[in-house]
C-alpha cells in the first residue's frame, strides 16, 4: 500500500489519523459539528475489526471509552460544545486514574447551545480547567488536514506514553472544510503502543507506581494482575487513601508528569519568524487567516511572522517567549475573547505590546480583519 491522496473534511482527517494510530474502540453521541467523526467510524471501525458504540449521552461515551481502554484498547470519543461540558466529569476520572484516551472536541460557538454550525475557539480554557480540581492536561490543535491527521496520531502517542487523556481541540471551520490529505503508508509515522507490565502473575504488580523513567506500565483487565481503579485519591495499588503523603505525591505526580515536560510536548510551526517585527501567534483555523496575511504582506516587504501553536496545553510558554523576544508587537489571532492571548501575555516580557485580533460572531476571521489591527499597530490608521 502506498500513500493515499484523499479530498476530505477535517473531521475525516481526524478519523484517518485515529485509525492510523491504532484506534479500535470509539464511543460517542451525535452532536454538530463533530458528528461526521462518529458516522465515519461507525463504518470504518468494524471494517477493521474494531468497535463503535453510540451511547445515550456524552457522559456515557466518555465512561465507555475509559472502560475499553482498561481492557487494552486504543480509544477515542468526539464531541462539540455542550457535549464537551458533559464529558468533564469522566475526563477528570481519566486524569486521576491515568487512563490513556483521546477526546476530540470540534469547537463551535458557546456558551450553551450557542451556534452549532459555526466555528469558534472558545473552549481553550475549558480544555485546561473544565474538570474540577488541580490537574494537568495535554491539548493539541491543528490548522490544516495534514496536521489534523498528524496531531491525532500525536494525541494517541502522548496518551499512551503518559497514561493520560489527550484533548484534540479542533474547530468547525477545519472540521467541515475539505482539502487534500495524504495518508502515508503504515509504519511511516511511529506509533506508541500500550506499555504493558512485564511483572509475571503471582508477583506484586503496582498499577500506580511509576518506573524510574516516569512511565506506568499497565495490565489489561482480564490478564493475570487484578487491581483497583478509582477516582478517589489512591495509593500505588490503586486503593483509596487519605494519607496526606500519598495524596500529595499523587497530585504532584499527575501534574508534574505533564507540566515538567512542557517543552518536550510542545508542537508548533514557524513561518518567517527570523526577522519578524510583528509576530502573530495563532492556532487552529485562525492560523490559516494569519498565515494568509503573513504570506501576502511578506510579498510587500513587511516583516511579519507567525508562530502557529499546535500544543495548547501544557502552554509552551518558553517557546512563545523565545520566539516573540525580538518582536516589536505580538498579535494573537483567535476566535474567542483572548483565551490564548492571556497566556501569551504571561509568557512574554512586554505584555503591553500583545494585541488581540479576534472574531466572536460566528464568522471566520478574515485576512482583512487582521490587516485592520496590523495597520493600527503599524501606525497607518484604520
Subset of residues 90 to 149 that bind another protein, contact rule: CB under 8 A: 90, 93, 116-118
Subset of residues 279 to 308 that bind another protein, contact rule: CB under 8 A: 288-289, 291-292, 295
**Helix ranges, 72-119 (H):** 81-97
**Helix ranges, 98-200 (H):** 124-129, 145-162, 172-176
User: Of 46, 133, 186, 351, which lies in the binding site for another protein, with binding defined by CB under 8 A?
Assistant: 46
Using the rule CB under 8 A, is 326 a contact of another protein? no
Cα separation, 379 vs 162, in Å, equals 47
Cα separation, 169 vs 179, in Å, equals 19
User: Of 1, 3, 56, 244, which lies in the binding site for another protein, with binding defined by CB under 8 A?
Assistant: 56
Cα separation, 350 vs 337, in Å, equals 20
Sheet of 278-283, strand order? 268-271, 304-309, 278-283, 329-334, 354-358
Specify the residue for cell string 492536561. 137
Nearest-approach distance from CB 352 to another protein, in angstroms: 29
Using the rule CB under 8 A, is 250 a contact of another protein? no
Subset of residues 9 to 38 that bind another protein, contact rule: CB under 8 A: 25, 27, 32-33
Using the rule CB under 8 A, is 323 a contact of another protein? no
Cα separation, 80 vs 299, in Å, equals 38
Nearest-approach distance from CB 367 to another protein, in angstroms: 6
Cα separation, 77 vs 169, in Å, equals 12
178 Cα distance to chain centroid: 21
115 vs 191, which CB is nearer to another protein? 115
User: Of 191, 195, 206, 221, which lies in the binding site for another protein, with binding defined by CB under 8 A?
Assistant: 221
Nearest-approach distance from CB 57 to another protein, in angstroms: 7
What DSSP state is assigned to residue 242?
A: -
Binding interface with another protein (CB under 8 A):
5-7, 25, 27, 32-33, 43, 46-47, 49, 51, 53, 55-57, 59-61, 63-73, 75, 89-90, 93, 116-118, 173, 176-180, 220-224, 226-232, 239-240, 288-289, 291-292, 295, 364, 366-368
Amino acid at each position: 500500500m502506498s500513500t493515499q491522496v484523499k479530498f476530505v473534511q477535517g473531521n475525516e482527517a481526524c478519523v484517518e489519523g485515529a485509525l492510523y494510530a491504532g484506534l479500535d474502540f470509539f464511543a460517542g453521541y451525535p452532536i454538530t459539528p463533530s458528528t461526521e467523526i462518529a458516522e465515519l467510524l461507525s463504518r470504518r471501525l468494524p471494517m477493521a475489526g474494531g468497535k463503535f458504540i453510540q451511547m445515550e449521552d456524552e457522559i456515557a461515551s466518555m465512561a465507555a471509552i475509559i472502560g475499553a481502554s482498561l481492557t487494552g484498547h486504543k480509544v477515542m470519543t468526539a464531541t462539540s460544545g455542550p457535549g464537551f461540558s458533559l464529558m468533564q466529569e469522566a475526563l477528570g476520572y481519566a486524569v486521576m486514574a491515568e487512563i490513556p484516551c483521546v477526546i476530540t472536541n470540534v469547537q463551535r460557538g458557546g456558551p450553551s447551545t450557542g451556534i452549532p454550525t459555526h466555528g469558534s475557539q472558545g473552549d481553550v480554557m475549558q480544555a485546561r480547567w473544565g474538570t474540577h480540581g488541580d490537574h494537568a492536561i495535554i491539548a493539541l490543535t491543528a490548522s490544516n488536514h495534514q496536521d489534523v491527521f498528524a496531531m491525532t496520531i500525536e494525541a494517541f502517542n502522548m496518551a499512551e506514553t503518559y497514561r493520560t487523556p489527550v484533548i484534540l481541540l479542533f474547530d468547525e471551520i477545519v472540521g467541515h472544510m475539505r482539502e487534500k490529505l495524504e495518508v502515508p503508508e503504515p509504519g511511516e509515522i511511529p506509533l506508541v503502543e500500550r506499555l504493558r507490565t512485564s511483572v509475571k502473575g503471582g508477583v506484586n504488580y503496582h498499577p500506580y507506581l511509576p518506573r524510574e523513567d516516569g512511565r506506568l506500565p499497565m495490565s489489561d483487565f482480564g490478564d493475570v494482575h487484578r487491581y483497583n481503579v478509582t477516582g478517589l485519591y489512591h495509593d500505588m495499588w490503586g486503593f483509596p487513601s487519605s494519607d496526606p503523603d500519598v495524596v500529595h505525591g499523587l497530585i504532584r505526580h499527575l501534574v508534574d508528569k505533564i507540566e515538567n515536560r512542557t517543552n518536550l510536548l510542545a508542537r508548533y510551526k514557524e513561518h518567517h519568524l527570523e526577522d519578524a517585527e510583528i509576530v502573530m501567534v495563532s492556532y487552529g483555523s485562525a492560523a490559516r487567516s494569519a498565515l494568509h496575511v503573513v504570506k501576502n504582506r511578506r510579498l510587500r516587504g513587511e516583516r511579519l511572522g507567525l508562530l502557529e501553536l499546535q500544543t495548547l496545553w501544557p502552554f509552551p510558554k518558553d517557546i512563545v517567549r523565545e520566539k516573540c523576544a525580538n518582536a516589536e508587537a505580538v498579535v494573537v489571532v483567535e476566535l474567542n475573547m483572548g483565551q490564548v492571548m492571556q497566556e501569551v501575555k504571561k509568557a512574554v516580557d512586554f505584555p503591553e505590546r500583545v494585541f488581540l485580533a479576534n472574531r466572536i460572531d460566528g464568522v471566520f476571521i478574515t485576512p482583512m480583519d487582521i490587516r485592520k489591527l496590523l495597520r493600527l499597530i503599524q501606525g497607518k490608521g484604520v
